[in-house]
Amino acid sequence: MSAPTKRRWATLTATALAAAGCVAAHEMAPKAPPVQTVEILAQKFNFTPDEIKVKKGMPVDLELTTLDRLHGFNVPGLNLRAEIVPGQTTHVKFTPDKAGRFLFHCDVFCGEGHEDMDAAIIVEE
């Protein structure tokens, strides 16, 4: 066997072993908790839904969209903030580490009902 051929064999063997190792490791590793995906729609002057429930310790992916204009998404109690831009889906990913009721509100002034534009995230044990 020529030297280049030996190297190729060695590479293929290493790759196969590594792949097998990956599969074994994957099978042995604890499964990642499922992601809680929640769609939130913003429009003047409310969020839909206006109350969402998620589980403590489980990853959350909030998918934020707006029907009309730029809005803000601010959850001071969970230290989350994003802007919801028209035509885009804004993802806010987090894993809640404490239970409770956390208000969120639009923090980009959007008109006369802006001050009423709020909702809540309930984090359950």
Partner 1 sequence: MNTRINRRSFNRLAGLGGVAFASGLFAHTEGGRAWAAGREPAQDFYFVQLSDSHWGFKNDAVNPEAQHTLPKAIAEVNALKQQPDFVVFTGDLTQTTEDPQERRKRMSEARDIIKTLNVKTVRFLPGEHDASSDNGAAFKEFFGETHYTFDHKGVHFIVLDNVSDPTAALGDAQLNWLKADLAQLDKKQPIVVLTHRPLFDLAADWDWVTKDGQKAIDMLMPYEHVVVFYGHIHQEHHQMTGHIAHHAATGLMYPLPVAHSQPKKGPVAWDPAQPFKGLGWRSVDSETKKMTVAMTEHPLAKA
Contact 72, 108 (CB under 8 A): yes
By beta-carbon proximity to partner 1, the closer residue of 95 and 118 is 118
Does 33 bind partner 1 (CB under 8 A)? Our answer is: no
CA distance 61 to 38: 6
Using CB under 8 A, which of the segments 7-15, 54-62, 84-92, 110-118 binds partner 1? Answer: 110-118
- Least distance CB 94 / partner 1 (angstroms): 17
CA atoms within 13 A on the CB side of 4: 0
- Least distance CB 65 / partner 1 (angstroms): 19
Does 74 bind partner 1 (CB under 8 A)? Our answer is: yes
Nearest to 68 by CA among 123, 29, 106: 106
